[in-house]
Amino acid sequence: DQQVKQNSPSLSVQEGRISILNCDYTNSMFDYFLWYKKYPAEGPTFLISISSIKDKNEDGRFTVFLNKSAKHLSLHIVPSQPGDSAVYFCAASGGGADGLTFGKGTHLIIQP
């Protein structure tokens, strides 16, 4: 049973527009959430995180929103740039488990 779900395998967005990537989780014990970005033939790299005591965290063009009641988080990228084309993974931890539980990823394609 998947505890972290990314229901969109791919997303295509025009350069300069907003990219919104979504993630849902089922484990109410999760209290820390992260987004990773992955290019082909490379390992995932950390992008941004949010603790469950917050509902928003912003870092430059990247903002993560957390809706605990809906067990949903989203990553907003504004404006989208060609270099943002990658696979984005949502991850969560908590409930005494230190390991990160990952979603299956969303392949973001930025169209020129």
Partner 1 sequence: DAGVIQSPRHEVTEMGQEVTLRCKPISGHNSLFWYRQTMMRGLELLIYFNNNVPIDDSGMPEDRFSAKMPNASFSTLKIQPSEPRDSAVYFCASRQGQGIRTEAFFGQGTRLTVV
Cα 103 to chain centroid distance, Å, stands at: 9
Element (H, E) at 65: strand 62-67
- In sequence order, the 6+-apart residues with CB closer than 8 A to the CB of 42 are none
98 near partner 1 (CB under 8 A):
yes
State the nearest-atom distance from the C-beta of 44 to partner 1, in Å. 5
Work out whether 30 is an interface residue with partner 1 (CB under 8 A): no
- The reply to whether omega before 9 is within 30° of 0 (cis) is no
Of 13, 21, 23, 34, the one binding partner 1 by CB under 8 A: 34
Q: Show the CA angle centred on residue 80, arms to residues 79 and 85, nearest 5°.
A: 165
Q: Does 29 bind partner 1 (CB under 8 A)?
A: no
Kindly tell me which residue out of 11, 20, 31, 76 binds partner 1, with binding defined by CB under 8 A. 31
Binding site for partner 1 (CB under 8 A): 31-32, 34, 36, 41-46, 49, 51, 89, 93, 97-105
